[in-house]
Amino acid sequence: MSALATAPAIVPLAAAALVTAVRSRPRLQQALAMAASVALLGCALALLAQVAAGETVVVAFGGWPSPMAIEFVVDRTAAALVLITALMGVAAVLFLASDADVGDRHPLLLPLLFGVLAGAGGAFVTGDLFNLYVWFEVMLICALGLLAIGARVDQLDASFKYLALNLLGTLLLLFAVAAVYGVTGHLNFTALAGAAPAVAPGLWLAVLTLLMVAFLVKAGAFPVYAWLPASYHTLPAPVLALIAGLLTKVGIYALLRTLGDVFSPAPAVLYEVLGWVAAATMLFGVLGAAYHWDMRRILAFHIISQVGYILLGIALASVAGYAATLFYTLHHIVVKANLFLIAAIIWRLTGSYDLRRIGGLYVTRPWMTLLLLIPALSLVGIPPLSGFWAKLLLLQEAIGQGRVVWTVVALVVSVLTLYSMMKIWMEAFWKRHPDAEWQPPADTQLAPAWAVTVGLAGVTVWISLYPQALLVYVQAAAATLGGR
Amino acid sequence: MIWAVAAALWVSLASGVYLCLSRDVFRVALGLAVVGAGVNLALLASGRLGSVQPAVVPKGQPFLELASNPLPQALVLTAIVIGFALVCFSLALVLGLIRDAGTDDALELRAAEPVPGNDIKPPATDPAHEPEWPPEGRA
């Protein structure tokens, strides 16, 4: 059933309308949001089952023939990312039922949350360049709404910086879309792939550079990542986990789809530049993280650092590189969202996000140590956790191509990542709480938060222990990229 | 015609970027709107300009040779609508920000990222800029 391909965009949009309609009744709104995000997860699983059998689900709007119609194309890459988007939606909505840094419950929070999900889902499945731009705008405006909705002065400050830099990125993207259309006369991905070789090489390089810079702004790559650490830490935790997990990955997906698939092979110099950008992104991101003491800010800088690893896979421009990128993205979204959610639980139990003001959790909550260490060590890449397999795939290919500098940077950055994860562990768990009278509060409402974090840790453990299933899948997905 | 559009595009991009580089946050918002207008011109120009022939295919002809491509005109409409929404949002945001922060100087907007008071350690966050702990009981 090809109409299922529209589900990643239609279901969240319908859900947004539905939860807006019941905005005066918070409990009903929460229940409907939960039902809708589970429905999205069901649709994503159904899509995954179809594409895993080797079928590409295509739907063309308005009954126009290709390449006139706007198409939604769900291949293995898109289906996996849609599934992880839906999973993040369920996690965020369920976490909202707890009291761990969920913010004041604004009636329009859930509609905007579904707007972000619709934007991400639409961007993952669309087969049309202008349509991709529209989904980026949907995500941008909804993310801005979520940033500004709390109306604290730091949130407005963060929204402004997010707006200014991201809007510039979006305008670059629109300019690039205009340039691509001007030189090829197409917007449909399949038609673009056919038309690209006929364009004069110098002109084509300029157009693709513009497109790449636009997506790098969205992905949060060096040196255009300033919007990310300036804004993310002002969000309430479940929204932060969703946005931190998804938004930069949509930029990365767009790069993979264009440089790695539609316009592949792009001029070699672009991949070379992307590789060095990736190395710098890893390094500068992790250095920012090493400096900070606020857990949210540490983790926000780690997003940038990890984006560097993911971009490196695209820069390697091979099937193995793309497979590593995809594996890394899927593992990373789960791990990163989980770390932000665990930080929120730490905040609820100890009273601050600042590591200098908290401590003592190892004595009072010993099992929570394990819960933190699963995603934290996975982010570092300690075997046998999922991050290890992701880095192994990536660095095997980098060494295979003789990219020694990039490999060394990636390994050094892993050590620095370990440093800041250990900082969180030692300060929040191992050391005593600075307030000697401190006891974890008894009147918490954390059951949904535990369910979400343990569930996401379970996904990480599953990827860690059975990487083969995911590996086979991403290799099959990467093999079809560039084969238009 | 295309040169006139190119000149307009150049002027709007240059003036927009100039405004964006200002420290005044209100000018930045206006600058983004002007850059957006310039980019919309580029999008419009991607489908040929200057033809007065209507975009109606005469009978017996498979396509129009001289007419402008109508698709970018549709695209630019979409882009204008989206841009308009974002400009409205950014103006409302900037006005709220100037009112609440008490300044329109971008360099003084440090509520989200406080300035470190010492060379080595990052600043502690102001409790007024943190979520309230313990959270109030929720109905």
Structural domain spans, chain A:
2-480
Chain B CB contacts of A294 under 8 Å are: 122, 125
Chain B CB contacts of A103 under 8 Å are: 131
Over residues A74-102, the pLDDT tens digits come to 999 999 999 999 999 999 999 999 988 88
Tell me whether the omega of the peptide bond preceding residue A384 falls within 30 degrees of 0, making it cis: yes
A230 at B interface, C-beta within 8 A:
yes
Q: Which residues of chain A have pLDDT under 50?
A: none
Two structure tokens written together for A285: 């991101």
d(CA A453, CA A91): 8
DSSP letters, B9-71, are: HHHHHHHHHHHHTSSBHHHHHHHHHHHHHHHHHHHHHTT-----S-S-PPTT-SS-SSSPPHH
Q: Give the pLDDT score at B119.
A: 78
Cβ contact A235:A341 at 8 Å: no
Put simply, the answer to whether B93 touches A144 (Cβ < 8 Å) is yes
Q: Which of B130, B132, B136 to mutate to test the interface with A (most CBs of A within 10 A)?
A: B130
DSSP letters, A29-55, are: HHHHHHHHHHHHHHHHHHHHHHHHTTP
A291 at B interface, C-beta within 8 A:
yes
Put simply, the answer to whether B112 touches A154 (Cβ < 8 Å) is yes
Closest CB to B135: pick one of A99, A144, A185.
A99
Cβ-based neighbour number of residue A185 at 10 Å: 15
User: C-alpha distances in angstroms, A276 versus A221, A247, A289, A312, A329?
Assistant: 11, 22, 20, 8, 19
Q: Give backbone dihedrals phi and psi of A70, rounded to 5 degrees, phi first.
A: -75, 125
A353 at B interface, C-beta within 8 A:
yes
Residue given tokens 């009147």 in the structure block: A443
d(CA A16, CA A461): 32
Put simply, the answer to whether B35 touches A168 (Cβ < 8 Å) is yes
Over residues A166-192, the pLDDT tens digits come to 999 999 999 999 999 999 989 999 999
d(CA A312, CA A256): 11
Picking from A10, A159, A328, A47, the residue whose alpha carbon sits closest to that of residue B91 is A159
Q: Angle at CA A99, nearest 5°, toward A96 and A100?
A: 90
Q: How far is A147 from chain B (nearest CA, A)?
A: 11
Picking from A333, A327, A318, the residue whose alpha carbon sits closest to that of residue A467 is A327
Residue given tokens 């391909």 in the structure block: A5
Picking from A317, A290, A322, A314, the residue whose alpha carbon sits closest to that of residue A304 is A290
Q: Which of residues 110-139 of B touch A (CB under 8 A)?
A: 110-113, 121-122, 124-125, 128-131, 133-135, 138-139
Length of chain A measured in residues:
484
ipTM of the prediction: 0.92
d(CA A92, CA A304): 21
- Res. B139: pLDDT tops 50: no
Single-letter code of the amino acid located at A153? V
Mean pLDDT of B28-46: 94
Single-letter code of the amino acid located at A417? T
Give the pLDDT band of residue B51 (cuts 50, 70, 90).
low
Q: Identify the closest residue of chain B to A25 by CA–CA distance.
A: B139
- Res. B138: pLDDT tops 60: no
Q: Identify the closest residue of chain A to B119 by CA–CA distance.
A: A291
Two structure tokens written together for A380: 């570092």
Q: Identify the closest residue of chain A to B104 by CA–CA distance.
A: A157
Q: Identify the closest residue of chain B to A173 by CA–CA distance.
A: B39
- Res. B55: pLDDT tops 80: no
Two structure tokens written together for B124: 């502690």
Over residues A382-394, the pLDDT tens digits come to 988 999 999 999 9
Put simply, the answer to whether B112 touches A231 (Cβ < 8 Å) is yes
E-strand stretches of A146-213: none
What CATH architecture does domain B2-50+70-114 belong to?
Orthogonal Bundle (1.10)
- Res. B54: pLDDT tops 80: no
Put simply, the answer to whether B94 touches A160 (Cβ < 8 Å) is yes
CA dihedral A182, B87, A249, A176 (to 10 degrees): 10
Mean pLDDT of B9-30: 95
Closest CB to A99: pick one of B25, B109, B138.
B138
